[in-house]
Amino acid sequence: MMIVTTDNSSLILDANVSNVNKVIDDLSLLASKSIGELVTAHPNLLIFAAHFEDNEDDIASKPIFELKVNESQTILETGNVMGFIGVRDTQLKIQSRFARASVVDSDAQANQEEVIEEDYFLHYMLQKVLCINLFDLKHSRNQTNLFDFLVYLFPYFLKRALSQGLYKEYQKQSYNDSSLKGAIDIKAHICKNLPFRGNVAYSVREHSFDNPISQLIRHAIELIKQKPNMRDVLHSDSETLDFVNLIVQHTPSYHVRDRHTIINTNRKPFVHPYFTEYSGLQKICLQILRYEGLKYAHNDDKAHGILFDGAWLWEEYLNTLLRPIGYDHPTNNTRQGGIKVYAQKLSGNNVRRYPDFVKDNRIILDAKYKRMKDNKIDRDDLNQVLSYLFLYKANIGGYIAPTEEDNLVLNMGLLNGFGGSIHKFKLSIPQHVASYPEFKQLIAMNETKLIESIKELSFKQSIDESFSTV
């Protein structure tokens, strides 16, 4: 059973639908549990951002969804998390709330039409943030499924992992020659070298690139090659193609019949103090290989899937727009940027605060993925920006949120105390589009309008400071 919903929404699980009780039982295994708890209990879950434990929004303590009973109805409520998650026989697909249904001809002769949910906005943010080449969404005539996302994201994980170098580990190798350098294999020696002709059968442990991790990556590559609509991702750019060829070159022992053995060998999560990026690559390779041939058993309570924190994705997407115009993006997980809370700390460690975007210590902008009504700012959100303005001695604070309506630039008003102003920006997400290229064209125009509005705000700030100095 596939359940489809959107982020930050409520969905009534209709009691009249067949197997609804089974769906509720399956989803109850995951409902209301924190993301941090789920990732620990279900190692096959892939979560973006990878360092979600250090996220200032504290997404590790938040659930993916909740099940609430109201007047004999079961309601599924979602937050900022999007993606796919499956447990037992139930699959849950959470799209962005900006996904819209489109109608295509599925059978021209039978005069039938098919309604498809196109989530162009999620694809667009992933393309911008993770530098993924989505081509023209070749899957667009069919509902996007988990396998599509896994294959599209494979080059990203491959490049992240191999940027740390090709992994090698000690492997037991067997030889039969005259250069003895290990333990003699008596049985093999008797079988191969009688009568004695100068060779000795022996085995030795040596570093090798042809190991279970490299073999797992190779099997994933070979499976993707078999998919006509997906194989293009393996040569979407020169770097990806080079890394694919590197894996193929260093796995000479590859054979398709070993796939099940390699999967079992990689059941234990990969942990290494240096090759840290291989952990995510191992997870996505396992999911690609398991998706078709290794379904989870009906009594298996382990969840699998890939999830994206909408707040993190929106923030990183805005960074691709604001960084070129001079905004810094402090990050908590890397401890870069930010500002100390205390000018002089008398006891304990001095904590830091990390606003989303800062320019010249004068303008503070906060990314908000959640819905924000035009003339209202939540108390916690307002207090957060006010504290940043105080610490940086800045004069302008603002929020940037996505909207289904037109672009919005709103001055919320002047502040008491040290002065300054609060502004709200909204980026319009195109709704009624016929194709992904059209969506990209329209949102690029809206991005330009947003950037011009922010630049104008910065320019006015500079003019005000100049008059103040005079």
When pLDDT is averaged across residues 73-81 and rounded to a whole number, the result is: 89
When pLDDT is averaged across residues 390-398 and rounded to a whole number, the result is: 89
Q: Which amino acid would we find at residue 367?
A: A
Measured CA to CA, the distance from residue 350 to residue 363 in angstroms comes to 23
Which one, of 279, 286, 314, lies nearest residue 400 by Cα? 314
Q: Are 322 and 329 in contact (CB under 8 A)?
A: yes
Q: Are 251 and 215 in contact (CB under 8 A)?
A: yes
Peptide bond into 49 cis (omega under 30): yes
Determine which of 121-125, 185-189, 229-233, 306-310 has the lowest per-residue pLDDT on average.
185-189
When pLDDT is averaged across residues 439-468 and rounded to a whole number, the result is: 80
Which one, of 350, 400, 356, lies nearest residue 55 by Cα? 356
Q: Which percentage of the chain shows pLDDT scores above 70?
A: 84
As beta bridge partners, residue 367 has 400
DSSP character at residue 134? -
List, in sequence order, every beta strand (DSSP E) within 384-420.
Answer: 396-403, 408-414
Task: Indicate the pLDDT class of residue 140, thresholds 50, 70 and 90.
Answer: very low
Helix (H, G, I), strand (E, B), or coil: what is residue 174? strand
Measured CA to CA, the distance from residue 59 to residue 36 in angstroms comes to 8
As beta bridge partners, residue 423 has 398, 411
As beta bridge partners, residue 328 has 358
pLDDT tops 70 at residue 108: no
How crowded is residue 469: how many other Cβ atoms within 10 Å of its Cβ? 6
DSSP character at residue 34? B
Q: What is the pLDDT of residues 161-193, one digit of tens each?
A: 999 999 888 767 777 877 777 777 778 877 878
Residues 6+ apart with CB under 8 A from 314: 125, 367, 368, 369, 402
When pLDDT is averaged across residues 98-114 and rounded to a whole number, the result is: 50
Helix (H, G, I), strand (E, B), or coil: what is residue 427? strand
pLDDT of residue 463: 57
Q: Which amino acid would we find at residue 53?
A: E
pLDDT of residue 333: 61
Q: Are 89 and 339 in contact (CB under 8 A)?
A: no
When pLDDT is averaged across residues 269-295 and rounded to a whole number, the result is: 82
Q: What is the pLDDT of residues 359-372, one digit of tens each?
A: 988 899 999 998 87
Measured CA to CA, the distance from residue 133 to residue 117 in angstroms comes to 21
Determine which of 42-46, 252-256, 295-299 has the lowest per-residue pLDDT on average.
295-299
Q: Which amino acid would we find at residue 135?
A: F
pLDDT of residue 447: 94
Tokens of 378: 């939540």
How remote is the C-alpha of 304 from its chain's centroid?
14
Mean pLDDT (the chain, rounded): 81
* pTM for the model: 0.82
What pairing do the DSSP bridges indicate for beta strands 81-87 and 304-309?
Answer: antiparallel
How remote is the C-alpha of 93 from its chain's centroid?
15
pLDDT tops 50 at residue 109: no
pLDDT of residue 254: 92
pLDDT of residue 86: 85
Measured CA to CA, the distance from residue 144 to residue 138 in angstroms comes to 10
